[in-house]
């Protein structure tokens, strides 16, 4: 298998993008990524497109071929990948496998979701498709409710507090304020989070990532050819994925995501990297509790220790490890299919030294962590500079 590198990255502004549709979002991010990679649309050999629920959001399936056409990738193989909120990360791993296999050289991985064309209520129903419809959602629980159960149990077992959870959102808004692509640029306080509307006890509105429109695109090439296109290729040193039961009730523990632990262990082994080597990390904070779980399940902190460390500022920009410098799902926004790809865009910029006002000093090892549903899919990638 060949080594694989990122040679281009592009992103749209995330947020309520009323004036454009899914195709235009992908075009905006895609053309930026092609320009960044110094290639034309004719050079692209295959497209993977991560999208979660375009059938529900915009009554459109078959989105990969549509996007390939919109971007001028004439007649190439194009495949839509769907793994709920881990659709983007799953697409990235398939792009990695495809380039590594030798079957194609230049592969584009896009992620997109156009979520604001339907009501928030209908969007919440669509997102519920990430859980088990027959055994969870149909029984009355909402998708935020699943993470609320996880949060309650984590608080019970480890003494995690609502204020500590709130500190995740405060940090991520702080970082988003430094990111021109982020949905929310405003700073918030612990008090703001605590006083925001209750969604599913103990999670409040500002513990939850928003409904967003947006797209992200990565261009992959074999590392041996990457320098032809880009002076600072970013090498994918590990690509790992695992699954778990959709149903929370079927798991041994709901205070950890087993899929994250397995994917992380495989990724560290593949990259020959340990958790303490990671300088900059984008994790899946769909709810504040999810960032706490991620920091523990990725082995950055021991189980039960992450919430206090986050509240103490250890994971702030240029802290012990810089986490969600993009603003994360909470601050940057969460167009679900785009998120896993956006994480890789942010790490690419960080490892190139291009992250402007939110640059992590001396960042050499980056990691992304993308979760589907309440943890039935987890995808972990590790990155280094390719030179």
Task: List contacts with a copy of itself (CB under 8 A).
Answer: 1, 21, 23, 52-56, 58-66, 68-69, 73, 75-84, 90, 93-94, 97-98, 100-103, 125-126, 128-134, 137, 240-246, 250, 258-259, 262, 372-373, 376-377
Taking the complex as a whole, the smallest distance from the CB of residue 232 to a copy of itself amounts, in Å, to 26
Out of 154, 173, 284, 334, pick the active-site residue: 334
Helix (H, G, I), strand (E, B) or coil at 257: coil
What is the DSSP track for 96-130?
A: HHHHHHTS-SSEEEEEEEE-TTS-HHHHHHHHHTT
Residue 284 annotated as catalytic: no
Residues 309, 310, 313, 319: is their CA dihedral positive or negative? positive
Taking the complex as a whole, the smallest distance from the CB of residue 270 to a copy of itself amounts, in Å, to 10
Nearer to a copy of itself, 79 or 205 (CB): 79
Helix (H, G, I), strand (E, B) or coil at 256: coil
Query: For residue 234, how many other CB atoms are within 10 A of its CB?
Result: 27
Residue 334 annotated as catalytic: yes
Would you state the structure tokens that stand for residue 184, as one six-digit string? 């929310």
Whether residue 90 contacts residue 380, with contact meaning beta carbons closer than 8 Å, is answered with no
Would you state the structure tokens that stand for residue 263, as one six-digit string? 């994917």
Whether residue 135 contacts residue 365, with contact meaning beta carbons closer than 8 Å, is answered with no
Selection from 263, 310, 275 nearest residue 291 by Cα: 310
Taking the complex as a whole, the smallest distance from the CB of residue 374 to a copy of itself amounts, in Å, to 10
Nearer to a copy of itself, 331 or 375 (CB): 375
Nearer to a copy of itself, 310 or 336 (CB): 336
Nearer to a copy of itself, 323 or 379 (CB): 379
State the Cα–Cα distance between residues 143 and 344, nearest whole angstrom.
25
CA 190-193-195 angle, to 5 degrees, is: 105
Nearer to a copy of itself, 129 or 319 (CB): 129
Strands 280-282 and 365-372: parallel
Taking the complex as a whole, the smallest distance from the CB of residue 315 to a copy of itself amounts, in Å, to 27
Nearer to a copy of itself, 36 or 297 (CB): 297
Taking the complex as a whole, the smallest distance from the CB of residue 244 to a copy of itself amounts, in Å, to 6
Lookup result for tokens 């250890």: 314
Rounded to the nearest 10 degrees, the angle between the axes of helix 120-128 and helix 143-158 is 70
Taking the complex as a whole, the smallest distance from the CB of residue 221 to a copy of itself amounts, in Å, to 16
State the Cα–Cα distance between residues 242 and 376, nearest whole angstrom.
8
User: Annotated active-site positions, please?
Assistant: 85, 334
């Amino acid at each position: 298998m060949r080594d694989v590198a990122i040679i281009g990255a592009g992103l749209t502004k995330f947020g309520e993008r009323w004036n454009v549709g899914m195709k235009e979002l992908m075009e905006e991010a895609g053309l930026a990524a092609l320009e960044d990679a110094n290639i034309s649309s004719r050079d692209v050999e295959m497209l993977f497109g991560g999208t979660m629920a375009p059938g529900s959001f915009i009554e459109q399936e078959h989105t990969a071929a549509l996007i390939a056409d919109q971007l001028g990738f004439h007649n190439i193989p194009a495949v839509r990948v769907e793994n709920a909120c881990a659709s983007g990360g799953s697409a990235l791993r398939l792009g990695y496998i495809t380039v590594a296999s030798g079957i194609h050289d230049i592969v584009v991985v896009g992620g997109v979701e156009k979520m604001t064309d339907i009501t928030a209520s209908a969007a919440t129903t669509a997102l519920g498709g990430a859980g088990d419809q027959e055994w969870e959602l149909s029984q009355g629980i909402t998708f935020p409710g699943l993470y609320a159960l996880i949060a309650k149990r984590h608080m019970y077992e480890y003494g995690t507090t609502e204020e500590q959870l709130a500190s995740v959102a405060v940090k991520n808004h702080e970082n988003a304020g430094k990111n021109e692509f982020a949905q929310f640029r405003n700073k918030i306080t612990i008090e703001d989070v605590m006083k925001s509307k209750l969604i599913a006890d103990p999670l409040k509105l500002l513990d939850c990532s928003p409904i967003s429109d947006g797209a992200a695109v990565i261009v992959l090439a074999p590392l041996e050819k990457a320098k032809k296109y880009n002076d600072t290729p970013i090498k994918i040193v590990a690509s790992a994925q695992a699954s778990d039961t959709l149903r929370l009730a079927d798991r041994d523990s709901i205070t950890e995501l087993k899929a994250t632990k397995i994917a992380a262990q495989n990724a560290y082994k593949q990259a020959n990297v340990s958790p303490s080597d990671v300088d900059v990390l984008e994790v899946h904070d769909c709810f504040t509790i999810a960032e706490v779980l991620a920091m523990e399940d990725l082995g950055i902190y021991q189980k039960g220790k992450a919430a206090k460390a986050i509240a103490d500022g250890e994971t702030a920009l240029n802290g012990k490890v810089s986490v969600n410098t993009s603003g994360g799902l909470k601050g940057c926004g969460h167009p679900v299919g785009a998120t896993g790809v956006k994480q890789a865009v942010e790490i690419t910029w960080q490892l190139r030294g291009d992250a402007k006002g939110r640059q992590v000093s001396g960042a050499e090892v980056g990691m992304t962590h993308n979760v589907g549903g309440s943890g039935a899919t987890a995808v972990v990638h590790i990155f280094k500079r390719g030179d």
